[in-house]
């Protein structure tokens, strides 16, 4: 590890920090240290970073703004690559956007709505990055990334960079080909939007944002939706009907506002959240015979 750190620093790829606590890099404010934390300052430096990781045979994990993520209390082995500053560029060409993976999805939706471009209204309250949103096909309010993505620029583990079309991304509900079939890092995306009435677009976006504010507990540290909707049922409704709203284990608590959110009510550990997730799974299975699957990504060392 020491040699890898020295090489990354000599290449000036960006921030390179050992034993960086990840609680400060997740929206749930939970997570132990990364053995090695790297925030590349450009796509080129990301590619150099991957070369070093491959050279030293390091395990690697990628994060964006840390939403939809639960990091183990034991931290993460190997390298954690954060896509942030340096990969947050935006280029607008008519109704087509080329966006860096580190760009905030909320910020993007706000900027684009003011330009009279429609298609991103659904994203106005999703607290993640563009890269993470493409990776997991983020969505809300009846739409998702698959409806607007033209292509994604992906860095694969062997160091190759490739544009994948919408079809090649193999999108489905909250998933893409990158999650299991072809592991890779989204470094940029091209979205195809549609011209529209600026006032109507801004109103729709604001309405979506207000709905999320009124029904979801983003005033407390959380990771967004914990469970996938077991269609045709809705996860939050099942949790509520099971009488689990407000139930807590340690510092983790099922939100009183929305049954599909677990909040960090103060001092929560990942093990608290995991225990609460298991309790929900067991209770909903016993009461309704429904299998609940997590939407939040759970990563890091096993305790």
pLDDT in tens, 150-202: 999 998 878 789 999 999 999 998 899 998 889 888 999 999 999 999 999 98
pLDDT surpassing 70 at residue 242? yes
Taking the C-alpha atoms of residue 63 and residue 273, their distance in angstroms, rounded to an integer, is 19
Taking the C-alpha atoms of residue 236 and residue 187, their distance in angstroms, rounded to an integer, is 32
Give backbone dihedrals phi and psi of 302, rounded to 5 degrees, phi first. Answer: -80, 135
Give catalytic status of residue 295 as yes or no. Answer: yes
Rounded to two decimals, the pTM is 0.88
- Confidence (pLDDT) at 146: 96
pLDDT surpassing 90 at residue 256? yes
Taking the C-alpha atoms of residue 29 and residue 269, their distance in angstroms, rounded to an integer, is 9
- Confidence (pLDDT) at 109: 92
- Confidence (pLDDT) at 142: 85
What's the residue count for the chain? 303
pLDDT tens for each residue of 116-140: 999 999 988 788 899 999 999 988 8
pLDDT surpassing 90 at residue 213? no
pLDDT surpassing 90 at residue 30? yes
- Confidence (pLDDT) at 118: 93
Taking the C-alpha atoms of residue 277 and residue 222, their distance in angstroms, rounded to an integer, is 13
Give catalytic status of residue 124 as yes or no. Answer: no
What are the E-state strand segments in 9-159? Answer: 14-21, 33-40, 60-63, 69-71, 76-82, 90-93, 96-100, 117-118, 139-140, 143-144, 149-156
**Token pair listed for 221:** 């540290």
Given the residues 174, 176, 204, 255, select the one marked as catalytic: 174
Domain-wise residue ranges, the chain: 2-82, 90-215, 235-299
Report, as an integer, the average pLDDT of 202-226.
Answer: 87
pLDDT surpassing 90 at residue 219? no
CATH class of 2-82: alpha beta
Given the residues 20, 39, 121, 295, select the one marked as catalytic: 295
CATH class of 235-299: alpha beta
- Confidence (pLDDT) at 303: 65
182: Cα within 13 Å, side-chain hemisphere: 16
Give backbone dihedrals phi and psi of 13, rounded to 5 degrees, phi first. Answer: -80, -15
Percent of the chain past pLDDT 70, that is, above it, reads 100
Pick the CATH number of 90-215 from 3.30.300.30, 3.60.21.10, 2.40.30.10, 3.30.465.10: 3.30.465.10
Given the residues 72, 113, 176, 225, select the one marked as catalytic: 225
Give catalytic status of residue 174 as yes or no. Answer: yes
Report, as an integer, the average pLDDT of 220-242.
Answer: 94
Residue 297 Cα to chain centre, angstroms: 8
- Confidence (pLDDT) at 278: 98
18 or 184, which is more confident: 18
**All residues at 6 or more sequence positions from 271 whose CB lies less than 8 Å from its CB, including other chains:** 73, 250, 303
- Confidence (pLDDT) at 209: 81
Short-list 125, 123, 129, CA closest to 148? 123
Q: Which long-range contacts (CB under 8 A, 24 or more apart) does 86-90 make?
A: 86/14, 86/39, 86/40, 86/41, 86/42, 86/45, 87/40, 87/42, 87/43, 87/46, 87/131, 87/187, 87/188, 89/188
- Confidence (pLDDT) at 207: 86
pLDDT tens for each residue of 225-235: 999 999 899 99
- Confidence (pLDDT) at 225: 92
Question: Across-strand partners of 144?
Answer: 139
């Amino acid at each position: 590890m020491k040699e890898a750190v020295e090489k990354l620093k000599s290449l000036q790829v960006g921030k390179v920090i050992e034993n960086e606590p990840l609680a400060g890099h997740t929206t749930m404010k939970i997570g132990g240290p990364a053995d090695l934390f790297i925030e590349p300052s450009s796509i080129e430096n990301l590619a150099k970073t991957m070369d070093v990781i491959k050279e030293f045979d390091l395990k690697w994990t990628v994060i964006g703004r840390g939403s939809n993520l639960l990091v183990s209390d034991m931290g993460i082995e190997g390298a954690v690559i954060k896509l942030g500053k340096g990969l947050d560029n935006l280029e607008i060409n008519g109704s087509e956007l080329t966006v860096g993976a580190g760009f905030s999805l909320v910020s993007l939706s706000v900027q684009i709505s003011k330009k009279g471009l429609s298609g991103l209204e659904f994203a106005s309250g999703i607290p993640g990055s563009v890269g993470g949103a493409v990776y997991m096909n983020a969505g809300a309010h009846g739409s998702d990334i698959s409806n607007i993505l033209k292509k994604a620029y992906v860095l694969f583990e062997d160091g190759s960079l490739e544009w994948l079309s919408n079809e090649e991304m193999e999108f489905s509900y909250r998933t893409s080909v990158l999650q299991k079939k072809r592991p890779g890092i989204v470094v940029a995306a091209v979205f195809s939007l549609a011209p529209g009435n600026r006032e109507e677009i801004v109103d729709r976006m604001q309405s979506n944002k207000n709905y999320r504010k009124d029904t979801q507990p983003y005033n407390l540290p959380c990771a967004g939706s914990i469970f996938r909707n077991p269609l045709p049922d809705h996860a939050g409704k099942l949790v509520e009907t099971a009488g689990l709203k407000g139930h807590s284990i340690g510092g983790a608590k099922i939100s009183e506002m929305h049954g599909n959110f677990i909040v960090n009510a103060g001092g929560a550990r990942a093990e608290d959240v995991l225990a609460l997730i298991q309790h929900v799974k067991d209770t909903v299975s016993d009461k309704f015979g429904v299998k609940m699957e997590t939407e939040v990504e759970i990563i890091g060392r096993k305790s």
